[in-house]
Amino acid sequence: MATGSFEGALELSKETNTLIVGIPATIDNDVFGTDETIGFDTAVNTAVTEIDKIRDTAISHERIFIVEVMGRTRGFLASTVGLTVGAEIILVPEEKPKKKEIFKIIRENSTKGKRSGIIVAAEGIGDTRKLAREIQEKTRAEVRLSILGYAQRGGNPTARSRLLASLFADKAVQLLSENQGNRIVGLQNGKITSIGLKKSCATKKPLDLSLLKLARVLAT
């Protein structure tokens, strides 16, 4: 289940006596109550594989690539992917893009002799096509846009995603056998646990902005 599905399940629970236990499965990884959702690791690995290939082209042709990944309202996928691939810039919906800062970074890298780069952007940050044009106009760099799109949702699940699915399902069955409902299962601090469905729906999962700070340090 994704966040919207949990909200629907909560409404259903108010109208019936059905025991409901949710299992978080979304590549957005935005469900409160679990450090990781089923499918997130698969989507990250899919994106990393594609961006590694794009990086080769960026270097050989001395281009800046904006790679748009999924994330309409949250930046969990973009931040993890961006840090993993060594992106020079990561853009997430939680922080409004500072265009002057983007231009500055690209100009400084060019001065150092680095004329290629990767910008990982969540789709929710705005019009990435417009951003690509603006970067090219302001920095004279050759900029290309690559939108990974729904490819991130496909492919064979990683071992990590399969393991989480098995562990979450086992916990869900346990809760139901104990006549416990209106809960979601999750992974917290390395342990399989559960929290109330209502609390999960009512609480926004915070994005770890320290990942963005680390990415900036590593990119310098």
Determine contact, residues 120/90, Cβ cutoff 8 Å: yes
Q: Which CATH number fits domain 3-39+157-202: 3.40.50.450, 3.40.630.90, 3.60.15.10, 3.40.50.2300?
A: 3.40.50.450
Q: What is the pLDDT of residues 115-159, one digit of tens each?
A: 999 999 999 999 999 999 999 999 999 999 999 988 888 889 999
Report residue 164: phi and psi, to 5°: -60, -40
Kindly report the pTM of this predicted structure. Answer: 0.92
Residue with tokens 């106009």: 137
Beta bridge partners of 67: 120, 146
By mean pLDDT, which of 13-17, 131-135, 206-210 is the weakest? 13-17
Domain assignments of the chain as residue spans, ordered by start: 3-39+157-202, 43-154+208-219
H helix count then E strand count, the chain: 8, 7
Identify the pLDDT of residue 9. Answer: 84
Q: Check if 3-39+157-202 and 43-154+208-219 are the same fold.
A: yes
Answer yes or no: 170 catalytic: no
Beta bridge partners of 117: 64
Report how far apart the first and last C-alpha atoms of the chain are (Å, whole number).
Answer: 39
Instruction: Say yes or no to pLDDT of 11 above 90.
Output: no
Give the active site residue among 28, 35, 52, 127: 28
Q: Which CATH number fits domain 43-154+208-219: 3.40.309.10, 3.40.50.460, 3.10.290.10, 3.60.15.10?
A: 3.40.50.460
Q: What is the pLDDT of residues 21-77, one digit of tens each?
A: 999 999 999 999 999 999 999 999 999 999 999 999 999 999 999 999 999 999 999
